[in-house]
Amino acid sequence: MDITVEHIQEKREPFGPYRYNILQAGQKIAVFWHDYRGDMMGIHFLSSGFREDPPFASISDFVTGGGPYPLALSDSAMEYVISKLNK
C-alpha cells in the first residue's frame, strides 16, 4: 500500500498542535495531530468521519523519519491505519 505522511505547513499558536496528513496514492485519507511535547492527541479518518485518540502515546511511536529523512508511518501505525481503512 502506498501510504505516506506529510507535515501540514501552517501557522500555529506557540503551544498549538502539530498536524499531519496521511495520504494513500497521493490522496488525503486522514489527519492526525500531536501536542508540542509529542504526545498524540487525535486522528480523523476522512472517508468514514471516524475520530479517536490513537492507541499510540507518542509521535515517535507513530511516525518515523524527520530531519533529513522522509516522514513515514511506523510498522504498527501502518497496521493501525490499514485496519481502520478496511472497516
Give the model's confidence band at 1: pLDDT under 50 very low, under 70 low, under 90 confident, else very high. low
Residue 29, domain extent: 3-85
Q: Please return the burial class of 71, using the count of CB atoms within 10 Å of its CB with bins 0-12, 13-18 and 19+.
A: middle
- Region 67-83: mean pLDDT is 93
Q: How many domains does the chain have?
A: 1
- What are the tens digits of pLDDT across the range 21-73? 999 999 999 999 999 899 989 999 998 998 998 889 899 999 999 889 999 99
pLDDT for res 14: 85
**Position 87: which residue type?**
K
Contact 23, 4 (CB under 8 A): yes
